[in-house]
A and B are shown apart, each in its own frame.
Chain A
């Protein structure tokens, strides 16, 4: 399948370097996907391009209280023109940047998924539209943390 080959080829050089021990797996992935190894919200935002302006055109939907921190539904939409990417960041997680979606033309600025939260935290939706960053945040309380034992 072309899509699979493309994806594998893209990671091929990095995989080679990881295999040689020249790069750790985390570093290799981070080279391809900036921000995922950032340990704080600010660090993650910096790697996405800097500060995000609060915007009412970005909506983030998440429960006020999540019974199970391992499966918290998050939906993000953007009404901004030229939305090209949507990012989801969970502030108090060890690695706040959780997902980054590239929205090609013809695709709606809408994504919905489920994330893990270690503790009650703010979840940020950051949208890149026309090269600039915009954000919205929502606090979700967790009764049972979802990162591990």
Chain B
């Protein structure tokens, strides 16, 4: 399983700011390795964030999102102590879900 995501969620004045750092090689499929063989594409293509049973963000990504993707977004309706869950799925079907408590 991939390395865990680092999620920091902070609520202030009714808005929760979430910063996520995902661990993923995000191979574009354009790079070649030392032997000259093309490294196949391997990148996150689906992201979903949920809080209090409500989807607060969904994203579709192409291969040009940087390695170890960073994502920041903000939503209303949650407070400190609530949880936010982030899930990603990549083009090879691998997936990872991590949860953080809103500070």
Contact = CB atoms under 8 A, between A and B. Distances in A.
Interface string B73-103: 1111100000001010101010101000000
Contacts of B85: 1, 3
Interface residues of A, number: 45
B35 to A, nearest CB: 12
* Interface size grouping (class) on chain B: 35 or more
B93 A8 contact: yes
Nearest to B67: A70
A70 to B, nearest CB: 6
A147 B28 CA distance: 7
9 contacts: A29-B91, A33-B45, A106-B77, A107-B56, A114-B69, A115-B66, A116-B65, A117-B64, A148-B32
B70 A114 contact: yes
B91 A25 contact: yes
Given A4-B95, A113-B69, A98 B56 contact: no
Interface in A92-121: 93-95, 97-104, 106-108, 110-117
Q: Which 7 A-B pairs have the closest CB atoms?
A: A112-B72, A114-B66, A107-B75, A108-B74, A148-B30, A148-B31, A98-B64
A23 interface: no
Interface in B30-64: 30-32, 45-46, 48, 50, 54-64
A57 B58 CA distance: 22
Contacts of B69: 113-114
Instruction: Tell me whether chain B's interface is mostly helix, strand or loop, or mixed.
Output: strand
A36 B64 CA distance: 10
A7 interface: yes
Given A106-B56, A112-B71, A7 B95 contact: yes
Contacts of A29: 45, 91
Contacts of A113: 65-66, 69-72
A112 B70 contact: yes
Given A3-B50, A7-B87, A107 B66 contact: no
Contacts of B48: 3, 6-7
Contacts of B32: 148-149
Contacts of A101: 57-59, 73
Interface string A1-13: 1011011100100
